[in-house]
Amino acid sequence: MSQKRSSSADLRADCSRCFGLCCVALPFAASADFAVDKPAGKPCGNLRADFACGVHARLREEGFSGCAVFDCFGAGQRVSQTTFGGRDWRRFPDVARPMFDVFPVMRQLHELLWYLTEAASLPRVGPVRGDLRRSRDAIERLALGDAATLAGLDAAALRGDVNALLLRASELARAAVPGRRRNLRGADLAGADLRGADLRGASLRGALLIGADLAGADLRTADLTGADLRGADLRGADLSDALFCTRAQLDAADGDTATRLPAHLERPAHWPPRR
């Protein structure tokens, strides 16, 4: 039997087809990102009977900025509609615990699928493009498993294997950038003044850029895998072909009409609108 490969649309959250899993399965810790504490497995007080969020239009104002930037990469609808065949945890209480256990695992699988899809589409990754596609197909097969199999997966080990491949793809994609490419992997740049900085081809994997001033910075072909951009100023910055830039990263940052984004990413709703 041929395997159906997830499309780009499958790797985007569709809350209308999900049973509010991120609002139930995951824990909250009262902080700047969440207004309340909530243990894993307990529904958020804002979750409505139809599985929609009662404060979705004003999450930031209500103190739930962490929810505003969360992205399940389409894992929610896969668990809800495929793994559990459309049975929701309210009408079928027996699926609640298995569903809540599977969701965090599926979320990691879908994140890996997204990164592998992005990497395989990059120019100059020819030497590893086949490996990227094979790895993606292997993760896809795992995502099609039953609930018990999914819950028992070692997602951390999978991430380690995939990360090595993504690193190689990043190096190949950035190799064409002329001059010295800055290695800022894992750097603590919180609050740093990087206005107008030339960061073309830089590695910013896992860098802490919380509140950093990146206004007017050139981030073309910079690797942003896992970079923390909460509160970062991206006004006028050029991210037009930044590598592995996610919707969640942009949602957590501040930009304006002059910020240049990758073609596949939409301008966050809370940024100033285009005129």
Q: What is the pLDDT of residue 1?
A: 35
Instruction: Answer yes or no: are the C-beta atoms of 43 and 24 closer than 8 Å.
Output: yes
Q: Which amino acid is at 275?
A: R
Q: What is the pLDDT of residue 273?
A: 79
The model's pTM is 0.94
Instruction: Answer yes or no: are the C-beta atoms of 24 and 51 closer than 8 Å.
Output: no
* Tokens describing residue 71: 């992205």
Q: What is the pLDDT of residue 179?
A: 85
Q: What is the pLDDT of residue 2?
A: 40
Which domains are present in the chain? Answer: 9-173 (no CATH), 181-275 (2.160.20.80)
Nearest Cα residue to 240 out of 195, 184, 199, 193: 199
Nearest-angstrom CA–CA distance, 273 and 139: 38
Q: What is the pLDDT of residue 222?
A: 98
Contacts of 10 (CB under 8 A, 6+ apart): 74, 78
Helix locations, 144-266, DSSP H: 147-151, 155-174, 247-252
Mean pLDDT by 10 residues, the chain (275 residues): 58 96 96 95 97 95 95 97 98 98 98 98 97 97 97 94 97 92 96 98 98 98 98 98 97 96 92 78
Q: Which amino acid is at 220?
A: R
